[in-house]
Every structure is written in C-alpha cells, then in structure tokens.
C-alpha cells in the first residue's frame, strides 16, 4: 500500500513539475549528478522487469517434479492423473488419513494441492505391486466414495 501511494505521489510530482525538474531536485538533495540518478532509475527498472510473477504449481506439475525419473513412472503418472481428477484421495481428509496410516505427519496440510509433494514422495518409494494395487482399488468409472454410497442406499444392494 505504501509503495502504491508513493508511486502516485511521484507521478503527480512529475505531472506538476516535469521529469527534468524532479531529477534536478533529486540530484541537489542527494548531492549526486543527474546521470547517476538516471542510471540508478534504469537499474531499478531493469531489476523490476526481470522479476517474474510467481504462481503456484498445479497438482500435475508438483507430481511430475517428484516422480520424473522414478522406477515405476507409468504407475505413478496414472496415480497423479487420478489424484488431479480427485479419483484418488478426493478430499483433504482422505489425504491426511492416507499419510497418517503411512507414518507421515499431516497435521499442517491445508489443501490437497499443498499435500501433493508429500503424497507422491511416499508413493515413489512403493513397489510396482503396491502401486498397481492402489490403482486397482480406484473405481474406473471415476465414481467417488460418496456417489458409490448413495447408489448403494438407493439400490438397496451393497457394492453395486
């Protein structure tokens, strides 16, 4: 906020007095030449232009960072896709339960996306057989646990 106000005030000064007069006043106040001030401004502009806005990585990007080069990449990649689509560990509570059963602390996790790295670091250490059994436990039709339960209640038949 402070920076925004400063930028507005500087722009107003430039509009009111002109860029050259502002530079001259700065050079007198600071006791340096106008060239030094202009080079400082150019340097600051260059640095701010180089800064890239940061964004959070997606689930797939985080998972790929962890599993790239893994021995069982194909199985891990399939799990990553299912994780992204919320077919594998669809809710944060499922992720926490899975990690806790695996002996990994999950108290500080705030979202599924934030937990992706921990989940796939653990999965990377599993055998091909364990990964395949996880994949077979996930319903192929993408049916969530809630919809499966709802279907069982409606149909009156367990496991349908």
Same domain, 84 and 19: no
In a domain, 160, yes or no: no
Same domain, 29 and 84: no
Name the pTM for this structure: 0.57
By residue range, what is the domain housing residue 80?
Answer: 59-155
Same domain, 68 and 143: yes
Q: How many domains does the chain have?
A: 2
Same domain, 66 and 12: no
Same domain, 32 and 64: no
pLDDT 10s digit of each residue in the chain, 160 long? 888 898 899 999 999 999 899 989 988 998 999 899 888 888 888 887 777 677 888 989 999 999 988 888 999 999 999 999 998 899 999 999 989 988 888 888 899 888 999 999 999 998 998 888 888 887 655 555 555 556 666 666 665 4
Same domain, 74 and 32: no
Q: Which two tokens stand for residue 128?
A: 């091909």
């Amino acid at each position: 906020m402070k920076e925004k106000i400063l930028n507005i005030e500087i722009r107003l000064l430039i509009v009111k007095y002109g860029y050259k007069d502002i530079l001259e006043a700065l050079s007198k106040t600071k006791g340096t030449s106008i060239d030094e001030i202009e080079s400082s401004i150019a340097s600051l502009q260059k640095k701010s232009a180089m800064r890239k806005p940061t964004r959070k990585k997606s689930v797939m990007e985080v998972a790929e960072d962890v599993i790239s080069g893994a021995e069982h990449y194909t199985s891990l990649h399939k799990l990553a896709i299912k994780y992204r689509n919320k077919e594998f560990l669809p809710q944060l509570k499922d992720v926490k339960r899975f990690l806790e059963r695996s002996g990994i602390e999950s108290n500080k996790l705030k979202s599924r996306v934030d937990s992706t790295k921990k989940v796939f670091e653990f999965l990377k250490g599993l055998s091909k057989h364990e990964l395949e059994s996880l994949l077979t436990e996930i319903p192929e039709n993408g049916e969530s646990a809630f919809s499966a339960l709802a279907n069982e209640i409606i149909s009156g038949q367990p496991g349908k």
